Structure 1
Amino acid sequence: MVDDDEAIREALDDLLRSVGFRCRPFVSAEDFLALADRTGIACIILDVRMPGLSGLELQERLNKEGGGHPPILFMTSYADETTRLRALGGGACDVLGKPVDAHVLIASLNRAIAAG
């Protein structure tokens, strides 16, 4: 999960671990990109607006790297139609509004992992 908001990272980490997922929180897109070995990542939960590279810019970089990447779920407080279409057009599996309902997030995450 990549989100600049510490409270959201902690809450999502607790939620995902409570239902059996392993989670690795990242403070920024740049921190995620610095990860040398991304094998074993089943899905990326990604905030849209962050300082530095935005979530959409991270998605574009991953798409340009080639070789495929894990499925992406976006979470955002700014769920306007342009952002949603850009994320989905870039291959995102879903765009969820914050605050996200835990059941909706888990269902979306399971679909993304199954499809990925």
Structure 2
Amino acid sequence: MTGTIHIIDDDASVRAALQRVLSSAGYTTRCYAAAGDYLLPAPDPEPGCLLLDLQLPGFSGLDLQDALARHPGYEHPIVFLSGADDVRASVRAMRSGAREFLTKPVDFDVLLAAVEDAIQHDIRQRARRREAEEARARLAALGQREHLVLEGIAAGRLHKQLAADLGVSERTIKADRARIMRTLGVDTLPGLLLALRCASERAVSHA
């Protein structure tokens, strides 16, 4: 199996049982007795998920979920575990982006399915982030006029209109558009707009 499961639970016997099951399924596991312990080592850059107990001494599972927004390097999809069927907590957890909220004792097949779903989600998200970073790097390589041409294309303006706006010929605008598409690695207008949107969304998410 691909992915590291970060098990965060204050009960040593629970950690051991979860680690045994997940390791036997082929996952790499790391264990922590408290929420704060997870933030002590350097962030794990590989795909994975958090198997996070709801009730922890001091810093709760929900507190850690909230804190991860301020520590993006530590973010992974979360599968919550709770000793009680806490509807209010489960609603808050899911609204904040948790992949699953399970009640102890949990069926191991259910647990493995939830963990695999979370890891696959992390893999997809990381791929999207890489694509967005690449798109932003390509956009940064464009010249000032090329940026203006790209903005005009995105706004639906015609070559003739852009040429008038920028005081150049339509032929120049067409040449600029060709360079833009080569730089961004696309060969169609929809692909061009998708690359622009992808990079813009990434920039907004980190603003």
Do these two structures clear the TM 0.5 threshold for a shared fold by scoring above it?
A: yes
Query: Which contiguous aligned blocks of 4+ residues in structure 1 show a shift greater than 2 angstroms?
Result: 64-68
Q: How many residues align?
A: 116
CA contact (8 A) 1:88 1:94 kept: yes
Cα deviation, 1:41-72, whole Å, max 9, x if unaligned, reads 51110000010100000000002334671110
Which of 29, 34, 47 is matched with 1:28 structurally? 34
Cα deviation, 1:10-31, whole Å, max 9, x if unaligned, reads 0000000001001001010011
* Structure 2 residue 106 is matched with structure 1 residue 115: no
* Structure 2 residue 54 is matched with structure 1 residue 48: yes
Could you say which structure has the larger radius of gyration? 2
Normalising by structure 2, report the TM-score.
Answer: 0.54
- Tell me how far 1:115 sits from its aligned partner: 1.4
Show the counterpart of 1:3. Answer: 9
Cα deviation, 1:47-99, whole Å, max 9, x if unaligned, reads 00010100000000002334671110000012211010011011100000000
Query: Counterparts of 1:41 and 1:9 in 2: how far apart (Å)?
Result: 20
Show the counterpart of 2:79. Answer: 73
Where structure 1 has 5 or more consecutive residues not aligned to the other structure, the ranges are none
Structure with greater proportional helix content: 2
Which of 69, 94, 98 is matched with 2:100 structurally? 94
Query: Counterparts of 1:75 and 1:25 in 2: how far apart (Å)?
Result: 14
CA contact (8 A) 1:79 1:95 kept: no
Aligned CA-pair RMSD: 1.3
Where structure 2 has 5 or more consecutive residues not aligned to the other structure, the ranges are 1-6, 123-207
Normalising by structure 1, report the TM-score.
Answer: 0.94
